[in-house]
Amino acid sequence: MTTEIEIPKNEFVSIFKKHVDEGSTGIFSDTFDIFSSSKNEYKGYVGLDGFKIKRRKRFFDMNMNLSVANG
């Protein structure tokens, strides 16, 4: 899927970073997510050269979220 937006790349990355916590997107990285006090729903890496994010696991969340988005 490709999406084009009408803002400068560095401005988009700055806004995107505010919604993603830095962290691993590996399979076993969900273990301690339930103890996080962050309000951000996603974790991973966001930079000018690309991104790799996944949904953070929450307390009482029974879904197996194995999907990782990169671009």
pLDDT at position 61: 61
pLDDT over 70, % of the chain: 73
Which residue matches tokens 């999406």? 3
Q: How many CA atoms lie within 13 A of 15 on its CB side?
A: 6
Residues, the chain: 71
Beta-strand relationship, 42-47 and 20-22: parallel
pLDDT at position 6: 92
Whether pTM exceeds 0.85: no
pLDDT over 90, % of the chain: 20
> What's the sign of the alpha-carbon dihedral 20, 35, 24, 67?
negative
Task: Provide the residue type at 51 as one letter.
Answer: F
- Average pLDDT score over the chain: 79
- Under the banding of pLDDT at 50, 70 and 90, the label for residue 13 is very high
